[in-house]
Structure 1
Amino acid sequence: MDKAGKVLAIIPARGGSKGLSRKNIRLLHGKPLIAWTLEAAKSASSVDRAILSTDDEEIAKVARKYGADIPFMRPDHLAKDDSTSVDVVLHALDQLPGYEWVMLLQPTSPLRTAGDIDACMEKCLEHAADQAVSVCAAKQHPAWMFHIEQECLIPVVQEGSKVTRRQDLKPTYALNGAIYLTKAETIRQSKSFLYQPVPYRMPKERSFDIDNELDLYMVDALMKRS
Protein backbone atom coordinates (compact mmCIF):
# COMPACT_ATOMS: atom_id res chain seq x y z
CA MET A 1 0.00 0.00 0.00
CA ASP A 2 1.48 3.37 -1.06
CA LYS A 3 0.74 5.56 1.93
CA ALA A 4 2.97 8.47 0.90
CA GLY A 5 4.63 8.29 4.28
CA LYS A 6 5.13 6.16 7.38
CA VAL A 7 2.19 5.42 9.68
CA LEU A 8 2.42 5.35 13.47
CA ALA A 9 -0.46 3.67 15.32
CA ILE A 10 -0.95 4.72 18.93
CA ILE A 11 -2.94 2.63 21.40
CA PRO A 12 -3.80 4.80 24.43
CA ALA A 13 -4.33 3.02 27.76
CA ARG A 14 -4.18 5.08 30.92
CA GLY A 15 -4.55 3.42 34.28
CA GLY A 16 -7.26 5.60 35.80
CA SER A 17 -10.33 4.52 33.84
CA LYS A 18 -13.55 5.55 35.61
CA GLY A 19 -16.54 3.89 33.93
CA LEU A 20 -15.03 0.41 34.21
CA SER A 21 -12.13 0.05 36.62
CA ARG A 22 -8.94 -1.36 35.07
CA LYS A 23 -10.90 -1.97 31.88
CA ASN A 24 -7.87 -2.14 29.60
CA ILE A 25 -6.69 -5.36 31.23
CA ARG A 26 -10.07 -6.89 32.03
CA LEU A 27 -10.54 -10.26 30.38
CA LEU A 28 -12.63 -10.39 27.23
CA HIS A 29 -13.18 -13.79 25.60
CA GLY A 30 -10.06 -15.16 27.29
CA LYS A 31 -7.68 -12.24 26.67
CA PRO A 32 -7.13 -8.81 28.20
CA LEU A 33 -9.20 -6.15 26.45
CA ILE A 34 -6.11 -4.37 25.22
CA ALA A 35 -4.77 -7.50 23.49
CA TRP A 36 -7.47 -7.37 20.79
CA THR A 37 -6.37 -3.93 19.60
CA LEU A 38 -2.67 -4.78 19.90
CA GLU A 39 -3.16 -7.81 17.65
CA ALA A 40 -5.24 -5.92 15.09
CA ALA A 41 -2.71 -3.09 14.87
CA LYS A 42 0.26 -5.47 14.48
CA SER A 43 -1.57 -7.36 11.71
CA ALA A 44 -2.52 -4.27 9.69
CA SER A 45 -0.39 -3.86 6.57
CA SER A 46 -0.92 -0.08 6.57
CA VAL A 47 0.78 0.38 9.98
CA ASP A 48 4.56 0.75 10.08
CA ARG A 49 4.80 0.80 13.87
CA ALA A 50 2.21 0.29 16.60
CA ILE A 51 2.98 1.55 20.10
CA LEU A 52 1.24 1.60 23.46
CA SER A 53 0.98 4.88 25.36
CA THR A 54 0.34 4.23 29.05
CA ASP A 55 1.20 5.66 32.45
CA ASP A 56 0.47 2.38 34.22
CA GLU A 57 3.11 -0.27 34.96
CA GLU A 58 0.57 -3.08 35.35
CA ILE A 59 -1.01 -2.31 31.97
CA ALA A 60 2.46 -2.18 30.42
CA LYS A 61 3.38 -5.55 31.94
CA VAL A 62 0.22 -7.23 30.66
CA ALA A 63 0.51 -5.62 27.22
CA ARG A 64 4.12 -6.74 26.78
CA LYS A 65 2.95 -10.34 27.04
CA TYR A 66 1.03 -9.67 23.82
CA GLY A 67 3.95 -8.05 22.05
CA ALA A 68 3.31 -4.41 22.90
CA ASP A 69 5.94 -1.89 21.81
CA ILE A 70 6.26 0.64 24.68
CA PRO A 71 9.04 3.08 23.83
CA PHE A 72 8.20 5.44 26.72
CA MET A 73 5.85 5.76 29.68
CA ARG A 74 3.24 8.49 29.40
CA PRO A 75 3.82 11.39 31.83
CA ASP A 76 1.30 11.85 34.63
CA HIS A 77 -0.02 15.17 33.33
CA LEU A 78 -1.23 13.37 30.19
CA ALA A 79 -3.04 10.64 32.15
CA LYS A 80 -5.62 12.73 34.01
CA ASP A 81 -9.40 12.69 33.57
CA ASP A 82 -9.25 15.89 31.51
CA SER A 83 -6.29 14.83 29.34
CA THR A 84 -7.20 14.72 25.66
CA SER A 85 -6.41 12.12 23.02
CA VAL A 86 -4.93 14.85 20.85
CA ASP A 87 -2.43 15.76 23.58
CA VAL A 88 -1.46 12.08 23.90
CA VAL A 89 -0.91 11.83 20.14
CA LEU A 90 1.14 15.03 19.97
CA HIS A 91 3.32 13.81 22.82
CA ALA A 92 3.96 10.52 21.00
CA LEU A 93 4.83 12.33 17.78
CA ASP A 94 7.32 14.50 19.67
CA GLN A 95 8.92 11.38 21.14
CA LEU A 96 8.96 9.52 17.82
CA PRO A 97 9.54 11.95 14.95
CA GLY A 98 9.58 10.94 11.29
CA TYR A 99 6.00 9.72 10.82
CA GLU A 100 3.78 11.38 8.21
CA TRP A 101 0.60 9.70 9.44
CA VAL A 102 -0.72 8.85 12.88
CA MET A 103 -3.59 6.56 13.83
CA LEU A 104 -5.31 6.42 17.22
CA LEU A 105 -6.72 2.99 18.05
CA GLN A 106 -8.63 2.90 21.33
CA PRO A 107 -8.53 -0.45 23.14
CA THR A 108 -12.22 -0.06 24.02
CA SER A 109 -13.06 -1.06 20.42
CA PRO A 110 -12.00 -4.73 20.45
CA LEU A 111 -14.05 -5.81 17.42
CA ARG A 112 -12.25 -3.48 15.02
CA THR A 113 -10.10 -5.63 12.73
CA ALA A 114 -6.82 -5.24 10.86
CA GLY A 115 -8.98 -5.14 7.73
CA ASP A 116 -10.85 -2.14 9.12
CA ILE A 117 -7.59 -0.35 9.84
CA ASP A 118 -6.30 -0.93 6.31
CA ALA A 119 -9.64 -0.02 4.72
CA CYS A 120 -9.75 3.25 6.65
CA MET A 121 -6.32 4.16 5.31
CA GLU A 122 -7.43 3.20 1.78
CA LYS A 123 -10.49 5.44 2.13
CA CYS A 124 -8.32 8.37 3.17
CA LEU A 125 -5.91 7.86 0.25
CA GLU A 126 -8.74 7.29 -2.23
CA HIS A 127 -10.20 10.71 -1.43
CA ALA A 128 -6.82 12.44 -1.05
CA ALA A 129 -7.93 13.46 2.44
CA ASP A 130 -5.82 14.49 5.41
CA GLN A 131 -8.00 12.66 7.92
CA ALA A 132 -10.46 9.78 8.25
CA VAL A 133 -12.57 8.53 11.15
CA SER A 134 -14.65 5.40 11.64
CA VAL A 135 -18.41 5.76 11.97
CA CYS A 136 -21.47 3.54 12.15
CA ALA A 137 -25.17 4.11 11.65
CA ALA A 138 -26.58 6.08 14.58
CA LYS A 139 -28.77 4.14 16.99
CA GLN A 140 -31.21 7.05 17.30
CA HIS A 141 -31.91 9.77 14.74
CA PRO A 142 -31.31 13.26 16.22
CA ALA A 143 -34.69 14.36 14.83
CA TRP A 144 -36.27 12.17 17.52
CA MET A 145 -34.11 13.40 20.38
CA PHE A 146 -35.11 16.09 22.87
CA HIS A 147 -34.02 18.27 25.75
CA ILE A 148 -36.37 18.53 28.70
CA GLU A 149 -36.97 22.06 29.94
CA GLN A 150 -39.63 22.68 32.58
CA GLU A 151 -41.17 19.30 31.69
CA CYS A 152 -41.45 20.24 28.02
CA LEU A 153 -39.77 18.29 25.21
CA ILE A 154 -37.55 20.59 23.13
CA PRO A 155 -36.20 19.10 19.85
CA VAL A 156 -32.43 18.82 19.73
CA VAL A 157 -32.63 19.71 16.03
CA GLN A 158 -35.49 21.49 14.35
CA GLU A 159 -35.00 19.95 10.92
CA GLY A 160 -37.11 16.84 10.62
CA SER A 161 -38.59 17.12 14.11
CA LYS A 162 -42.09 16.65 12.69
CA VAL A 163 -41.20 13.60 10.62
CA THR A 164 -43.15 10.59 11.85
CA ARG A 165 -41.80 7.81 9.60
CA ARG A 166 -38.26 6.49 10.05
CA GLN A 167 -37.90 5.86 6.30
CA ASP A 168 -38.41 9.57 5.61
CA LEU A 169 -35.36 10.56 7.64
CA LYS A 170 -31.91 10.92 6.14
CA PRO A 171 -29.43 8.30 7.41
CA THR A 172 -27.26 9.61 10.21
CA TYR A 173 -23.92 8.36 11.48
CA ALA A 174 -22.01 8.57 14.74
CA LEU A 175 -18.35 8.23 15.59
CA ASN A 176 -17.80 4.71 16.89
CA GLY A 177 -14.40 5.40 18.48
CA ALA A 178 -12.56 2.62 16.68
CA ILE A 179 -10.22 4.48 14.28
CA TYR A 180 -8.95 8.04 14.08
CA LEU A 181 -6.49 8.65 11.25
CA THR A 182 -4.72 11.90 10.41
CA LYS A 183 -1.66 13.32 8.77
CA ALA A 184 0.78 14.27 11.51
CA GLU A 185 1.13 17.82 10.26
CA THR A 186 -2.65 18.27 10.11
CA ILE A 187 -3.21 17.33 13.75
CA ARG A 188 -0.27 19.47 14.82
CA GLN A 189 -1.93 22.46 13.17
CA SER A 190 -5.62 21.77 13.81
CA LYS A 191 -5.33 20.04 17.23
CA SER A 192 -8.28 17.91 16.12
CA PHE A 193 -9.12 14.57 14.50
CA LEU A 194 -12.28 16.13 13.09
CA TYR A 195 -10.84 18.72 10.73
CA GLN A 196 -12.88 17.73 7.63
CA PRO A 197 -12.27 13.95 7.85
CA VAL A 198 -13.71 11.44 5.40
CA PRO A 199 -15.89 8.72 6.98
CA TYR A 200 -15.00 5.07 7.10
CA ARG A 201 -18.26 3.18 7.64
CA MET A 202 -18.21 0.17 9.96
CA PRO A 203 -21.13 -2.17 10.67
CA LYS A 204 -22.85 -1.98 14.04
CA GLU A 205 -21.72 -5.48 14.96
CA ARG A 206 -18.07 -4.32 15.01
CA SER A 207 -18.76 -0.88 16.49
CA PHE A 208 -19.05 -1.64 20.20
CA ASP A 209 -17.24 0.85 22.45
CA ILE A 210 -16.70 -0.70 25.88
CA ASP A 211 -17.32 1.81 28.64
CA ASN A 212 -18.98 -0.17 31.44
CA GLU A 213 -19.63 -3.65 32.80
CA LEU A 214 -22.70 -4.20 30.61
CA ASP A 215 -20.74 -3.35 27.45
CA LEU A 216 -18.05 -5.86 28.41
CA TYR A 217 -20.65 -8.56 29.09
CA MET A 218 -22.46 -7.94 25.78
CA VAL A 219 -19.31 -8.04 23.67
CA ASP A 220 -18.07 -11.16 25.45
CA ALA A 221 -21.39 -12.89 24.77
CA LEU A 222 -21.26 -11.79 21.13
CA MET A 223 -17.74 -13.15 20.68
CA LYS A 224 -18.68 -16.48 22.25
CA ARG A 225 -21.48 -16.88 19.70
CA SER A 226 -19.31 -16.13 16.68
Structure 2
Amino acid sequence: MKALALITARGGSKRIPRKNIKDFNGKPIIAYSIEAALGSGVFDEVMVSTDDDEIAEIAKSYGAQVPFLRSEKTSNDFATTADVINEVISEYEKRGKKFDIITCIYPTAPFITAKKLKNAVEELSASDADTLIPVVRFSYPPQRAMEIHDGRLVFRQPENLSKRSQDLEPHYHDAGQFYVTRTESFLKTNSLLVGSILPLELSELEVQDIDNEVDWKLAELKYNLISKDITE
Protein backbone atom coordinates (compact mmCIF):
# COMPACT_ATOMS: atom_id res chain seq x y z
CA MET A 1 0.00 0.00 0.00
CA LYS A 2 1.63 3.24 -1.16
CA ALA A 3 1.29 6.39 0.94
CA LEU A 4 1.94 10.04 0.11
CA ALA A 5 2.51 12.89 2.55
CA LEU A 6 1.22 16.10 0.97
CA ILE A 7 2.14 19.34 2.74
CA THR A 8 0.13 22.33 1.51
CA ALA A 9 2.08 25.61 1.55
CA ARG A 10 1.07 28.41 -0.76
CA GLY A 11 2.96 31.68 -0.62
CA GLY A 12 0.13 34.16 -0.30
CA SER A 13 -0.52 34.28 3.45
CA LYS A 14 -2.29 37.54 4.34
CA ARG A 15 -2.67 37.71 8.14
CA ILE A 16 0.89 36.56 8.87
CA PRO A 17 3.12 37.41 5.90
CA ARG A 18 5.32 34.50 4.75
CA LYS A 19 3.71 32.46 7.50
CA ASN A 20 4.63 29.05 6.12
CA ILE A 21 8.37 29.74 6.34
CA LYS A 22 8.39 32.15 9.29
CA ASP A 23 10.89 31.25 12.00
CA PHE A 24 9.37 29.15 14.77
CA ASN A 25 11.77 28.40 17.63
CA GLY A 26 14.80 28.48 15.38
CA LYS A 27 13.68 27.09 12.03
CA PRO A 28 11.00 27.64 9.37
CA ILE A 29 7.70 26.38 10.72
CA ILE A 30 7.15 24.18 7.65
CA ALA A 31 10.27 22.22 8.65
CA TYR A 32 8.39 20.62 11.56
CA SER A 33 5.80 19.09 9.23
CA ILE A 34 8.44 17.88 6.78
CA GLU A 35 10.65 16.35 9.47
CA ALA A 36 7.71 14.59 11.13
CA ALA A 37 6.57 13.11 7.82
CA LEU A 38 10.06 11.93 6.88
CA GLY A 39 10.73 10.58 10.36
CA SER A 40 7.52 8.55 10.45
CA GLY A 41 8.87 6.08 7.90
CA VAL A 42 5.39 5.31 6.53
CA PHE A 43 5.42 7.45 3.39
CA ASP A 44 6.72 6.50 -0.03
CA GLU A 45 7.05 10.19 -0.81
CA VAL A 46 6.91 13.43 1.17
CA MET A 47 6.05 16.40 -1.05
CA VAL A 48 5.19 20.06 -0.68
CA SER A 49 2.54 21.67 -2.86
CA THR A 50 3.43 25.34 -3.29
CA ASP A 51 3.32 28.14 -5.81
CA ASP A 52 6.30 29.90 -4.22
CA ASP A 53 9.93 29.39 -5.28
CA GLU A 54 11.36 30.32 -1.88
CA ILE A 55 9.07 27.90 -0.05
CA ALA A 56 9.99 25.22 -2.59
CA GLU A 57 13.72 25.70 -1.97
CA ILE A 58 13.32 25.64 1.81
CA ALA A 59 11.15 22.52 1.56
CA LYS A 60 13.81 20.77 -0.53
CA SER A 61 16.55 21.78 1.92
CA TYR A 62 14.68 19.88 4.66
CA GLY A 63 14.27 16.79 2.51
CA ALA A 64 10.84 17.18 0.90
CA GLN A 65 10.10 16.69 -2.80
CA VAL A 66 8.64 19.49 -4.93
CA PRO A 67 8.06 17.73 -8.25
CA PHE A 68 5.88 20.54 -9.61
CA LEU A 69 4.63 23.97 -8.58
CA ARG A 70 1.02 24.57 -7.73
CA SER A 71 -1.12 26.10 -10.47
CA GLU A 72 -2.54 29.61 -10.30
CA LYS A 73 -6.03 28.10 -9.97
CA THR A 74 -5.15 26.31 -6.72
CA SER A 75 -3.08 29.19 -5.32
CA ASN A 76 -5.74 31.87 -4.92
CA ASP A 77 -7.70 32.75 -1.78
CA PHE A 78 -10.71 30.70 -2.89
CA ALA A 79 -8.94 27.41 -3.60
CA THR A 80 -9.85 24.63 -1.17
CA THR A 81 -7.75 21.85 0.30
CA ALA A 82 -9.74 19.44 -1.87
CA ASP A 83 -8.73 21.42 -4.97
CA VAL A 84 -5.07 21.07 -4.01
CA ILE A 85 -5.36 17.34 -3.33
CA ASN A 86 -7.10 16.76 -6.66
CA GLU A 87 -4.37 18.64 -8.49
CA VAL A 88 -1.63 16.65 -6.74
CA ILE A 89 -3.33 13.32 -7.55
CA SER A 90 -3.69 14.36 -11.19
CA GLU A 91 -0.09 15.55 -11.52
CA TYR A 92 1.29 12.35 -10.02
CA GLU A 93 -0.89 10.23 -12.31
CA LYS A 94 0.64 12.07 -15.28
CA ARG A 95 3.99 10.90 -13.94
CA GLY A 96 2.81 7.33 -13.59
CA LYS A 97 2.48 7.39 -9.79
CA LYS A 98 -0.55 6.43 -7.73
CA PHE A 99 -0.99 6.35 -3.96
CA ASP A 100 -3.51 4.36 -1.92
CA ILE A 101 -3.36 6.70 1.08
CA ILE A 102 -2.77 10.45 1.14
CA THR A 103 -1.96 12.34 4.32
CA CYS A 104 -2.64 16.03 3.86
CA ILE A 105 -0.48 17.96 6.34
CA TYR A 106 -0.64 21.66 7.14
CA PRO A 107 2.67 23.56 7.12
CA THR A 108 1.97 25.48 10.34
CA ALA A 109 1.50 22.53 12.68
CA PRO A 110 4.66 22.16 14.79
CA PHE A 111 2.91 19.82 17.23
CA ILE A 112 2.78 17.02 14.63
CA THR A 113 5.22 14.23 15.41
CA ALA A 114 6.57 11.29 13.45
CA LYS A 115 4.97 8.94 15.95
CA LYS A 116 1.51 10.50 15.51
CA LEU A 117 1.73 10.26 11.74
CA LYS A 118 2.97 6.68 11.83
CA ASN A 119 0.21 5.60 14.21
CA ALA A 120 -2.44 7.46 12.21
CA VAL A 121 -1.49 5.91 8.86
CA GLU A 122 -1.20 2.44 10.36
CA GLU A 123 -4.53 2.75 12.17
CA LEU A 124 -6.39 3.83 9.03
CA SER A 125 -4.68 1.13 6.96
CA ALA A 126 -5.76 -1.56 9.41
CA SER A 127 -9.39 -0.37 9.47
CA ASP A 128 -12.27 -0.15 7.02
CA ALA A 129 -12.65 3.60 7.58
CA ASP A 130 -12.26 6.22 4.85
CA THR A 131 -10.41 8.91 6.79
CA LEU A 132 -8.67 9.63 10.09
CA ILE A 133 -8.74 13.12 11.62
CA PRO A 134 -7.00 14.47 14.74
CA VAL A 135 -9.53 16.13 17.03
CA VAL A 136 -9.53 18.00 20.34
CA ARG A 137 -12.29 18.18 22.92
CA PHE A 138 -14.04 21.52 23.45
CA SER A 139 -12.80 22.81 26.81
CA TYR A 140 -16.23 24.27 27.66
CA PRO A 141 -19.44 22.29 27.00
CA PRO A 142 -21.07 23.59 23.79
CA GLN A 143 -24.39 22.46 25.27
CA ARG A 144 -24.18 25.57 27.48
CA ALA A 145 -23.50 27.97 24.62
CA MET A 146 -25.13 31.40 24.68
CA GLU A 147 -26.24 33.82 21.97
CA ILE A 148 -26.91 37.55 22.09
CA HIS A 149 -30.38 38.53 20.91
CA ASP A 150 -31.43 42.19 21.10
CA GLY A 151 -28.62 42.91 23.53
CA ARG A 152 -29.53 40.09 25.92
CA LEU A 153 -27.91 36.72 26.55
CA VAL A 154 -29.99 33.71 25.58
CA PHE A 155 -29.01 30.10 26.28
CA ARG A 156 -29.26 27.86 23.26
CA GLN A 157 -30.08 24.77 25.31
CA PRO A 158 -31.46 25.95 28.69
CA GLU A 159 -32.35 22.36 29.59
CA ASN A 160 -28.65 21.68 30.12
CA LEU A 161 -28.02 24.44 32.67
CA SER A 162 -28.76 22.23 35.67
CA LYS A 163 -26.68 19.29 34.43
CA ARG A 164 -23.16 18.63 35.62
CA SER A 165 -20.41 19.19 33.06
CA GLN A 166 -19.25 15.60 33.39
CA ASP A 167 -22.74 14.38 32.51
CA LEU A 168 -22.78 16.21 29.17
CA GLU A 169 -21.58 14.36 26.09
CA PRO A 170 -18.06 15.52 25.07
CA HIS A 171 -17.89 17.44 21.78
CA TYR A 172 -14.82 17.65 19.57
CA HIS A 173 -13.49 19.83 16.77
CA ASP A 174 -10.92 19.39 14.01
CA ALA A 175 -7.41 19.99 15.37
CA GLY A 176 -6.35 21.52 12.04
CA GLN A 177 -3.10 19.56 11.69
CA PHE A 178 -3.45 16.73 9.19
CA TYR A 179 -5.88 14.32 7.53
CA VAL A 180 -5.22 10.74 6.50
CA THR A 181 -7.50 9.51 3.75
CA ARG A 182 -7.87 6.68 1.28
CA THR A 183 -7.37 8.12 -2.19
CA GLU A 184 -10.27 6.11 -3.59
CA SER A 185 -12.65 7.42 -0.92
CA PHE A 186 -11.54 11.02 -1.45
CA LEU A 187 -12.02 10.83 -5.21
CA LYS A 188 -15.56 9.51 -4.76
CA THR A 189 -16.66 12.32 -2.43
CA ASN A 190 -14.17 15.13 -3.12
CA SER A 191 -14.07 15.68 0.62
CA LEU A 192 -12.03 14.71 3.68
CA LEU A 193 -14.97 15.11 6.01
CA VAL A 194 -17.43 12.47 4.86
CA GLY A 195 -17.73 8.73 5.06
CA SER A 196 -16.44 6.65 7.95
CA ILE A 197 -14.01 8.78 9.98
CA LEU A 198 -11.65 7.61 12.71
CA PRO A 199 -10.74 10.10 15.47
CA LEU A 200 -7.28 10.71 16.88
CA GLU A 201 -7.86 12.63 20.11
CA LEU A 202 -5.25 15.21 21.08
CA SER A 203 -4.88 17.31 24.21
CA GLU A 204 -5.38 21.09 24.19
CA LEU A 205 -1.65 21.55 24.74
CA GLU A 206 -0.98 19.85 21.40
CA VAL A 207 -3.33 22.04 19.39
CA GLN A 208 -3.16 25.71 18.39
CA ASP A 209 -4.67 27.46 15.38
CA ILE A 210 -2.14 29.96 14.04
CA ASP A 211 -4.05 32.74 12.29
CA ASN A 212 -2.47 35.85 13.82
CA GLU A 213 0.56 37.00 15.83
CA VAL A 214 -1.08 36.23 19.18
CA ASP A 215 -1.78 32.67 18.02
CA TRP A 216 1.85 32.38 16.96
CA LYS A 217 3.11 33.39 20.41
CA LEU A 218 0.70 30.97 22.10
CA ALA A 219 1.91 28.17 19.84
CA GLU A 220 5.53 28.88 20.78
CA LEU A 221 4.66 28.91 24.48
CA LYS A 222 2.83 25.59 24.19
CA TYR A 223 5.61 24.08 22.11
CA ASN A 224 8.27 25.07 24.63
CA LEU A 225 6.14 23.76 27.47
CA ILE A 226 5.84 20.28 25.97
CA SER A 227 8.85 20.23 23.64
CA LYS A 228 10.47 17.28 25.45
CA ASP A 229 7.40 15.13 24.81
CA ILE A 230 7.14 16.31 21.18
CA THR A 231 10.72 15.49 20.29
CA GLU A 232 10.75 12.03 21.89
Normalising by structure 2, report the TM-score.
Answer: 0.88
CA distance in 2, matches of 1:62, 1:201: 31
Answer yes or no: is 1:177 the counterpart of 2:173: no
CA distance in 2, matches of 1:159, 1:44: 46
- Give the deviation of 1:210 after TM superposition: 1.8
Normalising by structure 1, report the TM-score.
Answer: 0.90
CA distance in 2, matches of 1:163, 1:25: 48
Gaps of 5+ in 2: 228-232
* Counterpart for residue 148 of structure 1: 148
Gaps of 5+ in 1: none
CA distance in 2, matches of 1:112, 1:15: 21
The alignment yields a C-alpha RMSD, in angstroms, of 1.8
* Counterpart for residue 29 of structure 1: 25
Cα 1:160/1:194, change in 2 over 3 Å: farther
* Counterpart for residue 209 of structure 2: 209
Deviations along 1:57-95, one digit per CA (max 9) or x if unpaired, are: 121122222122100000111011111001100100111
Cα 1:120/1:159, change in 2 over 3 Å: farther
Answer yes or no: is 1:194 the counterpart of 2:193: yes
CA distance in 1, matches of 2:39, 2:56: 20
Alignment of 1:18-167 (within 5 A): 18-97=14-93, 98-156=98-156, 158=157, 161-167=160-166
**Which piece of structure 1 moves more, 28-37 or 214-223?**
214-223
SS at match of 2:148: strand
Aligned residue identity for 2:10: R
The total of aligned residue pairs comes to 221
CA distance in 1, matches of 2:158, 2:3: 40
Cα 1:189/1:155, change in 2 over 3 Å: farther
SS at match of 2:175: strand
Aligned residue identity for 1:172: H
CA distance in 2, matches of 1:51, 1:66: 11
CA distance in 1, matches of 2:18, 2:182: 31
